[in-house]
Each structure stands twice: as structure tokens, then as C-alpha cells.
A and B are shown apart, each in its own frame.
Chain A
Amino acid sequence: MKGFESVIGLEIHAQLLTRSKLFCGCGTGFGAEPNTQVCPVCLGLPGALPVLNRRAVELAVLVGEALHAHTNTSSVFARKNYFYPDLPKNYQISQFDRPLCSGGHLYVSDGGKRRRVRVTRVHLEEDAGKSVHLDDAGGRRTLVDFNRCGVPLIEIVTEPELRSPSEAHALLKALKQILEYTGASSGNMEEGGLRCDVNVSLRRVGERALGSKTEIKNLNSFRNVERALEYEIERQAGLLAGGTAVLNETLMWDAGRDRAVSMRSKEEAHDYRYFPEPDLLRLELKGDWIDDVKSRLPELPEARESRFVESLGLPPYDAAVLCGRRALADYFEEVARLTGEPKSASNWIMTEVLRTAKEGATDEFPVTAANLADLLTLVRSGRISGKMAKDVFARMAGTGETADDAVSRMGLRQVTDVREMRTIVDAVLSENPKSVADYARGKKKLFGFLMGRIMEKTAGQASPTLAESVLRERLEGVREGDANT
């Protein structure tokens, strides 16, 4: 690797969260029975014609705008021709020389460094089906599930500007966050909501020309992207160090064996014979329409994170965690708004909420924002202690009860009444005459022991501050700020 630098570009495919497919009315749900979400259009039956899904265009434009790209008022769908059984028309409707959005960028933070990475383009295309290869009692055969066929995807292409596998990983993370914020895509790699191909080449440090590159496909997790790049950079470096040229080829990542296998060389590369799709009109977007979509852009993660630090006073780490997902940031903001205490809202979410959410392994929050806010308000008003609140939270998470209900069901309340506290303290003192006498002789440490007795007597429900001040008053005749007696 010495003397070389790696040049990495990504091609990311993200499934758009539309109810129906890109060119027909079939559903897009994940996990349906094979070949149940299909029709003549997505099966490519003779005579069927595509009709563009308006919502898919909106979502794609939303992503383009979130990536600061330019939305082209005129773009063209094109056919990408190749034969494969999961592609029923044997061409994919995609975009080629006139994509929906061009240019753009996003910021990538890796190892404390923040860099701007340019995005070449964002375009719309349809997904293919899924081949299932079987070798069982029924023999060796391939079955095809066309449910995914025609599902809307956006392809996002970055400039070859990434310099390391970890930076590629960081870009994917940032992109996933943006996709999730815009509501355009789940960014879920496991369900095929996000897929990534990488291009990588090496060149001598200081050189401008790009070395010959390889493309790696079949990367189905962020970890695999990083691992495959590490593998491939090492392989190319080894070749170059030994004076061997890198072949321009397409590789397939084999996660099981942790290595990339050659799929095809440049000579075997497909000639996709792109040409404008004659079944669809040129996609013309009006400036007003684009502005309207743009106006629906939510506050993006980067901006939100810095607002959390600067306006709400959160530590940068907390702000980053809370902004990791839009739903989490929304949840935090709601609790902060209802309580007026962003810091304690953040503390609670960073600890109790996230811990419980993780255990439940669900995307939903264990306690609603309104209920959590009520709980925090109870703590602040002193009605329950912070320690009690954790138990109350656990109950609320289990039962879905409101804070008030949980507190009363648990028989919890904090003794905050001075007279009641005096009665309790007096009882404790009379039960422990020896300790009181020792305290008076100077064994000040016994104050803590007496506090413990009070807590014991009240089953932990005594307000610690109140108990302390009453105890001090009784032992030393000091009276503090008690206007009522």
C-alpha cells in the first residue's frame, strides 16, 4: 500500500418508499408470497406499457434536492438491454444520458475529519426480480420471483473521491440517514432497500490520472462494503507492487469466503445498447412543481445536529446519536418541547429509552413522547425521585400506562409535606436515642445513618432534600426556609 492511494466511487441503489411500483399499480411490500405482486406490465407481457408513478418522481427529486443536486426540468428514460431470467422484458427501464438530477454533494465524517464528496447523478429506474437457485429433491433448477420487478429505485452515483474503505462506510451511513430523513427510502440493506456497488482503483500518491479500476458487486451490508474494499485495495496493491497490471473487471463479493471472485472482464462487458424508451414521454418537470417538492424537504441531519448543539446545548456526541434517525430526533424534540428541558430529555433518551428500545429490538419507542415528558415533569416537581422514576419508566414501558397511572399503581409518591416529614423524622429520632445522643457528642457521621432510617421508614418515598433539611432542623435546631411552620 505504501506510495499508493485508493480512489473509490460508489453506486448506490435505494428502494423508494412508494405504495405501488414504478410503472404499474402493483404493491411493493416486502416478503409477500412469490409472484403475487405482479401484473402484465411488470411481467413484461406482450403489449403491456409502462406508466410512470408520480410519487416515485417526487421522492427521487426530494433525495436529489437533499443531496444539493440540480433537478433537470427535462429528463429521459432509456432502455438498458441485457438478457437475464429475472428481467422479464430483457431490458430495464432506467435513465442514461439525461438523468433526473445531476451534480450534488454530501458531507462525510470519518475519523474526526469532515469532507465534502460530490454526487454525480441521481436517476430513477426499475428493479429486477429475484432468481432463486435450488438444488434439492426437485432437482437443480432456478425459480424466479417477480415481486420486486418494477419496484422503484434511485441510483445515486458518487464521484470517485473517496479515499478509504472507512470513508466509504461513512458515506453510506450519511446517505442512509438522508434517505431516512427525506422519507424516500428505508435505507435498509438487509431487505434490499439499499444496495451498493463499488469502483476502486489505486494510483501513486501525487498522480492525477486514475489507475485501472475494478467494480465489486453483491455487497449487502455496510460492513461488507468496507471489507470488500479493504480486500480489493490490498489485492491491487499486491499486484502493482509486483509490477502486474490490474485488470479492468467486474468482481462479485463472496461474503462467506471473505473474498471477491471475477464475474467478467472488460472484454466480456455487456453492451447495454441504451436508447431512449419509446413507450414513455420525456419527463418534463415544471419549476413550480420542483419548488413545491423542495419546500417539503425536512431539516436534514447535519443541520439538525448542529442546532441541537448550538440552540439546545446538547453535547455533540448526544446530538449525533439523537440525530442518527429522524424518528429518534423527532421523539427527542417532542419530549424537550413538552418539558422545556432538552438536557434531561436527552439524558433520559440516551439511557433508559435507547436501552429499552434496543432490548425490545423494535423501531418503536417503549414510552410515548408525551408520557415520557409527564414522567420527567413529575421528577422535576419532586413528586418522585429520579431513582423512583427509573422503575416507573420500566413499568410504563411494559404496560403502556401514563406516568400518573404508573406512579399510583405502584403506590409511589414522594413525601414532600413538611409536617408529615417532621412526624416521620421525630419517630425515627425517638426510636434511635443512642444515635441522637452520639450525634450530639460530635459523631456527625451518624447523620447519614439517620437519613437511611428515614428512607427505610418511608420505603424510599421521602424526598431526600426535604428529609435532610428536616433532620438537620431537628438535630441542630436549624430551620431552613420553612415559612409554613
Chain B
Amino acid sequence: MGICELSLREMGSAVARRKVSPAELVEAHLSRIRVCDPTLRAYVTVNEAECERLARDRGRQSGGPPGVAAPLNCIPIAVKDNICTKGLRTTCGSRILRNYVPPYDATAVSRLRDRGCLLIGKTNLDEFGMGSSTENSFFGPTRNPWDLERVPGGSSGGSAAAVAAGMAAAALGTDTGGSVRQPAALCGLVGYKPTYGVVSRRGLVAFASSLDQIGVIARTVEDTAAVLEAVSGWDAWDSTSARRGQVRARQTGEVGKSGVLRVGVPWGFFSEGLDPDVSDVTRAVVSKLEKERWAFEEIDLPHAEYSIAAYYLVADAEASSNLARYDGVRYGEREGGTDDLWEMYVRTRTAGLGTEVKRRVMLGTYALSAGYYEAYYLRAQKARTLIKRDYEEVLRRVDLVLMPTSPTAAFRLGEKLHDPLAMYLSDVFTVGVNLAGLPAVSLPSGYSRSGLPIGLQLIGRAFEDQTLLEAARLFEQVVALEARTPAGLKGLLESGRGGA
């Protein structure tokens, strides 16, 4: 294994100490992409020319642009393709935006650029973030580097696959109902979803505005914190961004030091019907942590059973309105051939939007319609309030909540594609966090019998992201998971070398 497997921090210091030139670092990643991505299809667009040019320029300067320092200088970071990048097409995995080039950078992206990061490419996703497998993309499915016949999770599956396969040091994803945490879990990575309002949503193409949050996928907690520090913090361009949202990467070491960490586990909520591999990993991790003075107690989340229903109503209602702008009038693909405005709308959206998107837009439209609003949208909002209260009450007694990120390890391509309900249920452990606006992080926790990664998530109190990150670091140290090379990736690299 080489340069592409280094942690972000290791890469940053290698560049800073000139052990690796920016050009070498970029070339290593681009060549990895050339070898692996034709199969994995993690990227929709590779930003090759810009990265090569910037790397050359940085190589000539000593220590990068002024004010820019390690660890992020020259680090190749992948960005989910529903986050706007100026001059670089942003498709949202949709046919309707397949040639759309934004005229501005998302705040998170411009903050990464300011720190010297190189945007190595735009990653594949379920169209507009709607899905849990990255199969709902106009650009075709992404494969899981651990097993090429399996999905990487979703909707940030491209971001997870890219990081897992060494095609980026870290990646931005978006998490509306688990879309950062679940693919991170299925690809053996850290996936961080900040408190709602910590990272600006400006430039994040909205799926469900009250739930969407940009998150980070990386190999270690430290790497995650470095990227999160760069992208977090108040933004005047996003009214829902928080004044107290800045996260610092530096650890204070306070967490766990002063006493025991109290952790609640809702065994009753997730145990029934849980995949035995996931169940075993959960128990093994809990017993490891108990030995390190983590005090576990069983907690009850009485309204958690309504979270899937509430989530899909709220998210789809907002989506039905957010996606109305893709109408062929101003930008995106237009299906012409008619003089009638309404007919143009119908043709454009019929051709331009995928099946799952259409299903959700219809569901959401229905939930907001006169006569149904009270029964669906309003009730879902009430359930949301109760779910949020459950968490608030529990988090008064415990510091963290722990539970599996996904009920299963990575599933096979196509396995749930034609059963939307089964697909929706794979989000059962993640959506509650979005409804409550809380921070949560999925951490690599073990392997299934067939060698697939399994993740557990820690959930913290709102705006206590700093504490959650420190707890995550402790978790990482205690669990001390052996590093493995994803099997699928190994195969690709071997055949790639063979071919070369």
C-alpha cells in the first residue's frame, strides 16, 4: 500500500516536509482513479486538469499559498455531486442536471479551497440524495470497494467508495437521513453528520432543507475533525447556520478524563430482527468500552418507531417543493418539441427525473395537498417533535447514545432496488438523528463473518460536536480495529498492475 492509503494528516505532513510533492500526491490519486474507477464508478466527474495545474503551482511555491498550512494543503478531497462547485459541473446524479455548471462555490467548498485542498472530483450519489445504495443515479451505480457485487450504501456512496479505495483522502457527503453515516459504515470509514446548522448549506442542492447537512467521510476521526474544522462555522448566506457552529480539530482531552462516559443504548429499539453480525459487533464493542470506564445503560426512545414514517413525509414534502425548480425553463435539460408550457414541464420532468425521485415528489406533493396536510405533513411534524424530545430527555441523563448505523452490512446490488420500502427501512437507525437535528458519527467497529465492515454510531447533544468528536477518538482508540484492505480494491489493484 502506498501514498493513497496514508491518513490525511500523514499526507499533509508529508507534503509540508516535502517528502511528497503536490504533483506526486495528485498523480498517485489520479492514477488510482484511472485503475479503479472504471469499475467502482465513485466519480461522476474527475477534476483532473485543475488539480494537476494547482499541484504544479503549489509545488513551485514554498509551503503553499500564504496562510495555508498543513494538514489540508494540497490534500485531494472528493465532493459529493450535490454540492455546488464553481465551473465544475454538479449533476446531483440526475439526468436533468447532467450538464449543469454552477456559477458559485458552496460555502463548504470555498472554505476547503481556502485551506488549500484540491477538489479531486465530484462523487456519485443517489439522485438528489434520494436513496441508500447509490443505485438511483443517472450515471449508474457505484460499487463497494470491499465487495464489488455490493452497494457502498448511500446516498453519499460515491464519496465513501472514493475514500475507501484511496481515490481521495477524505470526502464531503450530505446527510439528510443517514446518507453520510450509512455509506461510511458500509465502507469501513468514519462518517460524521454535524448538528444541523454547524456546516452552511449554501450551495448544497436541497433535498429536504430542514434535514440536510453536509458531513465528512474520512479514514480516521482525526482526519474527520480536520475537514470539519475547515468547513464548519457560521455563514451569513445561510439563515439556518448557527453562530456557535465552529468546530475545532484540536482535542482538549477533557472528555472521559474527568470521569466515566455515560452511554445510552436503545437495545429495545434495534435488537429485534437485527442482523447477527451487526448484533455481535455491537455487543463486542460495548464490552470493550465498558472495560475503559464507559458506563452503559439501556435507554428507551418511545417514539423511535415512528421515525421512518415521519422522516419520509417531512423529507418528501420539502423535496416536492425543492425540486420544483427543475422545470426546463432556466437551466438543466429541457424536453422541447411542444409549444405548450404545461406539456414542456411534463415532458422535461418525466424524462429528466428518475423513478425514485418522481415517487418521492408525488408522495410529498400528496402530503402537502389540501385536505391531506393535517393528516400527513402536520402529523409528521408532531411526531418529529416527539422524537426530538425523546433524544433530549435521554441526553440529559447520558452523554451519548450508541446504536448500529445500519441494520446490515453492505447488501447486494439490486437486492432492494425494486422494493422501496425495504430500502427505506435500511435508514431506520439514522433518520431519527436528522429529525432531531443532532450530531452523530458512524465509526468502523468490526467485520461481518464474510469480511464486510460494520459501523456503530455515537449520537451527541446538539452543538456539542466537539465533545462527540473527542468521544469518537476515544472509541477509535479503544476499539482499535485492525486495518484491512478492502477485498474488491485489492483485486482491482492487482489486475490493474497486471494490466499495466
**Which A residues are closer than 8 A to B by beta carbons?**
40, 43-52, 79, 81, 83, 85, 88-91, 140, 142, 144, 271, 273-275, 278-281
Contact = CB atoms under 8 A, between A and B. Distances in A.
A279 B240 contact: yes
A275 to B, nearest CB: 6
B238 interface: yes
A227 to B, nearest CB: 30
Contacts of B92: 46
B104 interface: yes
B203 interface: yes
A51 B238 CA distance: 7
Contacts of B429: none
A79 B206 CA distance: 15
By CB atoms of chain B within 10 A, which of A88, A91, A275, A279 has the most?
A275
A52 B237 CA distance: 10
Interface string B369-405: 1100100010000000000000000000000000000
Contacts of B317: 275
A271 B370 contact: yes
The 8 closest A-B pairs by CB, nearest first: A90-B324, A278-B209, A273-B368, A278-B210, A47-B203, A46-B205, A47-B84, A271-B370
Given A81-B368, A275-B377, A47 B204 contact: yes
By CB atoms of chain A within 10 A, which of B208, B321, B370 has the most?
B321
A83 B321 contact: no
B202 A47 contact: yes
22 contacts: A40-B102, A40-B103, A40-B104, A43-B330, A46-B90, A46-B97, A46-B102, A46-B206, A47-B84, A49-B238, A51-B239, A81-B321, A81-B324, A83-B327, A90-B324, A142-B341, A271-B370, A273-B321, A273-B370, A275-B317, A278-B208, A281-B240
A91 B377 CA distance: 18
B202 to A, nearest CB: 5
A218 B208 CA distance: 35
A46 B106 CA distance: 10
Given A90-B324, A144-B329, A50 B318 contact: no
A147 to B, nearest CB: 14
Contacts of B206: 46-47, 279
Contacts of B325: 44, 46, 88-90
Contact of A46 (B84, B236, B237): B84
B97 to A, nearest CB: 7
A94 to B, nearest CB: 13
Interface of B (DSSP majority class): loop
Contact of A51 (B90, B104, B236, B318): B236
Nearest to A271: B370
Nearest to A81: B321
Interface string B218-249: 00000000000000000011111000000000
Contacts of B321: 79, 81, 90-91, 273, 275
Given A47-B102, A79-B321, A275-B377, 13 more contacts: A43-B330, A46-B90, A46-B205, A46-B206, A47-B84, A47-B203, A47-B206, A50-B239, A85-B327, A271-B370, A273-B369, A273-B373, A279-B209
B181 interface: no
Contacts of A142: 341
Nearest to A43: B330
Interface string B49-92: 00000000000000000000000000000000001100000101
Nearest to B324: A90
Interface size on B, as a range, is 35 or more
A273 B90 CA distance: 29
A91 B324 contact: yes
Interface string B323-350: 0110101110000000101000100000
Contacts of A271: 369-370
A315 B79 CA distance: 74
A43 to B, nearest CB: 7
By CB atoms of chain A within 10 A, which of B237, B317, B345, B377 has the most?
B237
Interface in B295-336: 317-318, 320-321, 324-325, 327, 329-331
A278 B370 CA distance: 19
A48 B202 contact: yes
Contact of A88 (B106, B330, B370, B377): B330
A51 B241 CA distance: 11
B269 interface: no
B413 to A, nearest CB: 28
B324 A89 contact: yes
A480 B240 CA distance: 85
A332 B204 CA distance: 56
Given A271-B369, A275-B377, A279-B239, A49 B324 contact: no
Given A271-B370, A281-B239, A47 B205 contact: yes
Contact of A49 (B97, B239, B341): B239
A88 B320 CA distance: 15
B368 A88 contact: no
Contacts of B331: 45
A88 B329 contact: yes
A7 to B, nearest CB: 25
A385 to B, nearest CB: 65
A90 B328 CA distance: 12
B201 A49 contact: yes
B212 to A, nearest CB: 9
A47 B331 CA distance: 13
Contacts of B203: 47-48
Contacts of B205: 46-47
B159 interface: no
B466 interface: no
Contacts of B330: 43-44, 88
B365 interface: yes
A168 B152 CA distance: 65
Contacts of A281: 239-240
B294 interface: no
B103 A90 contact: no
A278 B318 contact: yes
Contacts of A144: 329
Interface in B225-281: 236-240
B361 to A, nearest CB: 11
Contact of A85 (B104, B238, B329): B329
B100 interface: yes
Contacts of A279: 206, 209, 239-240
B202 A83 contact: no
Interface string B100-120: 101110100000000000000
Contacts of A44: 325, 330
Contacts of B210: 278
Contacts of A90: 321, 324-325, 327
A46 B377 contact: no
Nearest to A273: B368
Contacts of A40: 102-104
A287 B238 CA distance: 25
A47 B330 CA distance: 15
B437 to A, nearest CB: 12
Nearest to A82: B324
Contacts of B324: 81, 83, 89-91
A320 B370 CA distance: 48
B341 to A, nearest CB: 7
A279 B205 CA distance: 12
A275 B204 CA distance: 21
B378 to A, nearest CB: 9
A289 B202 CA distance: 29
Contacts of B345: 83
Given A81-B324, A273-B365, A47 B237 contact: no
Contacts of A88: 325, 329-330
By CB atoms of chain A within 10 A, which of B92, B325, B341, B365 has the most?
B325
A45 B237 CA distance: 14
Contacts of A89: 324-325
A47 B209 contact: no
Contacts of B320: 81, 273
